[in-house]
């Protein structure tokens, strides 16, 4: 089992910045993808950013140039630095980890989420 705990959400004005943190604990063997998803009220959950064990990153189009995902292996933590925030970024942000199985699928783990609100 893998446990994920998010922190760093809050209220920020448009144009401001936040840094989200996700600390992973438990059995971490085989985990090769970690990322951040978000879900706004009435909308589907969407991928924001992801990073592999090899350091490859991927971002949704709306996040490119504004958000950055990174890892601190010593602290077993994944971060999401969010700059130039817009009201459209308002959502609950969830940490995610994936582990490939022998059946060609992924087993996924989720945190409880942290609220990000961008408003004047």
Burial (CB count within 10 angstroms: exposed 0-12, middle 13-18, buried 19+), residue 40: middle
Strands 91-100 and 77-82: unpaired
pLDDT by residue (tens digit) across 77-110?
999 999 999 999 999 999 999 998 999 999 999 9
Which pLDDT band holds residue 111 (cuts at 50, 70, 90)?
A: very high
The answer to whether 109 and 117 have CB atoms below 8 angstroms apart is: no
Two structure tokens written together for 49: 């950013």
pLDDT of residue 118: 98
Residue 88 φ then ψ, to 5°:
-65, -15
- Residue 27 binned pLDDT confidence (cut-offs 50, 70, 90): confident
């Amino acid at each position: 089992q893998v446990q994920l705990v998010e922190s760093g959400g809050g209220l920020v004005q448009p144009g401001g910045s936040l840094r989200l943190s996700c600390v992973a604990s438990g059995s971490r063997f085989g985990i090769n993808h970690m990322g951040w998803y978000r879900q706004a009220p009435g909308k589907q959950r969407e991928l924001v950013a992801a990073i592999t064990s090899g350091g490859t990153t991927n971002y949704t189009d709306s996040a490119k140039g504004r958000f950055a995902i990174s890892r601190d292996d010593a602290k077993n933590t994944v971060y999401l630095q969010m700059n130039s925030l817009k009201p459209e970024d308002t959502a609950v942000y969830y940490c995610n980890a994936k582990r490939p199985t022998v059946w060609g699928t992924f087993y996924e783990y989720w945190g409880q989420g942290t609220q990000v609100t961008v408003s004047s």
